[in-house]
Amino acid sequence: MIDLLTFVPAVAAILATPGPTNTLLASSGAQAGFRRSLPLVPAELCGYALAIAGWGLFLEPASAALPWLKPTLRLACAAYLVAVAWGLWSRAGEALSGSGFGTRRVFTATLLNPKALLFAAVIFPEAAFATSAAFLQTISVFAAVIVPIALAWIGFGAALSQPGFFIRPQTVQRGAALVLLTFSASLGAAALG
């Protein structure tokens, strides 16, 4: 069983901090609007669920035997974030179709998000990876925390694009690209340092 008094605030604090996924959610809210960005929330949840399960069940134990694994994965994540940042910067101000930045991009960015490793290695109790029932219980509480935070990031982005707001969506997208580059640089430095 998880200790809700420590688990929920820790998860909320980590999820609320700016990061690659939150940057994409806010950018989509600014560009595509709140309603059209809603499909990104399940994509984020699925990305985190798979990444946390992968880290908790396989990659963390494997990295003990393969010390090069974590730095290599961090470099791969950093390279992906550079590609996403380039796409945001180069298409800033373009009208987007569908749900803004697409569920696939949010899913992939979340799957590669270094916060998943933090959740698996520190925040999720070890017992969460012992049985499928324990994992489902823990990920359900995680989902209850992630949904309102994701909606808040989308809403924040949508508010930025309102006609009376003094920042243009193009500026938001380019700012988001710079934030992603910063995260990429920190990941790369951690992998090489």
Task: Label residues 126-159 b or e (16+ Cβ within 10 Å = b).
Answer: eebbeeeebbeebbebbeebbeebbbbbbebbbe
Distance between CA atoms of residues 176 and 182, nearest Å: 10
Per-residue DSSP letters for 22-65? HHHHHHHHHHH-HHHHTTHHHHHHHHHHHHHHHIIIIIHHHHHH
Each residue of 33-74: pLDDT tens digit? 999 999 999 999 999 999 999 988 887 788 889 989 878 877
Q: What is the pTM of this model?
A: 0.75
Each residue of 66-124: pLDDT tens digit? 989 878 877 887 887 788 788 778 877 664 444 446 899 999 999 988 888 888 877 89
